[in-house]
């Protein structure tokens, strides 16, 4: 149902799983998978024609954010795709891991400028900065390595020997799915996407793959235009969803972060940081501290536990730890 994204999680410091669910997915099964994997965030594609999709999402008891609509497109590969209509202006070099630094930089320089994809997700941004997420996306792209797994090819796109973009995908029983691709901003507007699509369809024919398909963000008009130009037919739409299982009523929601400053005044520090934990609808009523600033100064980590299942009250627990052992707690009591 969902797959752990190891490199991405390692970079971001939170456990992330990815997956594409069909219309028959059930909240209980997804809950069990999330809990079994101890995932903090799930990045999922859900079929938009599922009339119960919001009922199911609400039944998870987890925060979620729907940030884009994806158009899934498909084309049946035929012998005609083995013949290029014209000479390609760009070259494709299979990624084997040796060019990891170059690959990561390509992802950050090209993917980072695509605002339709790099949405602002308030449930995610509390723990992961934009820069970290770009690092995570780059690490995720590097998981696609043909030399380690032939079903996960990844190409660096080159023009006159210079890297100008990347394209990667995955082979499955359904066919070949184009998962991520982008061109550096300064090389856009020259229809290189058409060259990429022609190359991928020719590659699919050579590999004996019957179907090519990919997802395009609905707001990404240039990519949608290239899809139409290449006679790749839209077949269905998906909702691109991030689920914060970290903040779920089904498990103790705990946010962990390193102490990067030594607060001289515990109350001032809490007030300065509370926007990370509490929405605008809540008002701080009291602080019950079983810890003082001196003790807090010796902590190596803070654990913030934020229950979200109360309708009119929210109690936040801040637990300070040193070398894995608790050295004190603070309770923050909020009312709607």
Helix (H, G, I), strand (E, B) or coil at 12: helix
Q: What pLDDT shows up at residue 260? A: 60
Q: Which residues of the chain have pLDDT under 50?
A: 115-118, 253, 308-311
Q: What pLDDT shows up at residue 46? A: 93
* CATH numbers and ranges of domains, the chain: 3-243 (3.40.630.30), 252-335 (3.10.129.10)
Q: What pLDDT shows up at residue 96? A: 94
Contact (Cβ atoms closer than 8 angstroms) between residue 243 and residue 44: yes
Q: What pLDDT shows up at residue 285? A: 72
Buried b (16+ CB within 10 A) or exposed e, 177-213: bbbbbbbbeeebeeebbbbbbbbbbbbbbeeebeebb
Q: What pLDDT shows up at residue 280? A: 61
Residue carrying the six token digits 């999402």: 57
Q: What pLDDT shows up at residue 118? A: 46
pTM score of the predicted model: 0.66
How far apart, in whole angstroms, are the C-alpha atoms of residue 185 and residue 240?
24
Strand partners for 163: 158
Buried b (16+ CB within 10 A) or exposed e, 82-109: eeeeeeeebebeebeeebeeebbebbbb
How far apart, in whole angstroms, are the C-alpha atoms of residue 94 and residue 109?
19
How far apart, in whole angstroms, are the C-alpha atoms of residue 61 and residue 246?
11
Q: What pLDDT shows up at residue 202? A: 93
How far apart, in whole angstroms, are the C-alpha atoms of residue 268 and residue 146?
52
How far apart, in whole angstroms, are the C-alpha atoms of residue 137 and residue 210?
29
- Residue 299, sorted as left (phi over 0), alpha (psi -120 to 50) or beta, turns out to be beta
């Amino acid at each position: 149902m969902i797959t752990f994204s190891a490199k991405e999680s390692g970079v971001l410091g939170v456990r992330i799983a990815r997956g594409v669910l069909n219309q028959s997915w059930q909240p209980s099964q997804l809950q069990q998978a999330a809990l079994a994997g101890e995932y903090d965030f799930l990045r999922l594609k859900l079929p938009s024609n599922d009339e119960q999709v919001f009922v199911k999402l609400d039944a998870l008891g987890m925060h979620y954010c729907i940030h884009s609509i994806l158009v899934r497109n498909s084309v049946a590969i035929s012998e005609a795709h083995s013949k290029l209509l014209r000479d390609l202006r760009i070259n494709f070099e299979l990624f084997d891991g040796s060019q990891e630094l170059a690959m990561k930089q390509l992802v950050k320089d090209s993917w980072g400028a695509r605002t339709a994809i790099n949405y602002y997700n308030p449930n995610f941004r509390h723990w992961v900065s934009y820069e970290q997420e770009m690092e995570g996306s780059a690490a995720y792209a590097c998981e696609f390595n043909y030399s380690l797994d032939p079903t996960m090819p990844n190409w660096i796109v080159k023009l006159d020997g210079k890297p100008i973009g990347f394209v990667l995908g995955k082979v499955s029983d359904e066919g070949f799915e184009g998962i991520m691709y982008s061109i550096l901003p300064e090389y856009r507007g020259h229809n290189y996407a058409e060259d990429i699509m022609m190359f991928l369809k020719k590659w699919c024919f050579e590999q004996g793959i019957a179907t090519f398909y990919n997802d395009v963000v609905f707001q990404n008009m240039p990519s949608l235009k290239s899809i139409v130009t290449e006679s790749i037919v839209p077949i269905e739409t998906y909702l691109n969803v991030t689920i914060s299982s970290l903040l779920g009523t089904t498990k103790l929601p705990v946010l962990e972060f390193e102490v990067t400053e030594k607060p001289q005044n515990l109350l001032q520090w809490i007030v300065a940081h509370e926007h990370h934990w509490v929405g605008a609808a809540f008002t701080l009523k009291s602080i019950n501290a079983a810890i003082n600033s001196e003790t807090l100064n010796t902590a190596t980590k803070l654990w913030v536990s934020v229950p979200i299942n109360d309708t009119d009250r929210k109690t936040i627990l801040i637990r300070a730890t040193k070398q894995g052992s608790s050295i004190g707690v603070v309770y923050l009591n909020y009312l709607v």
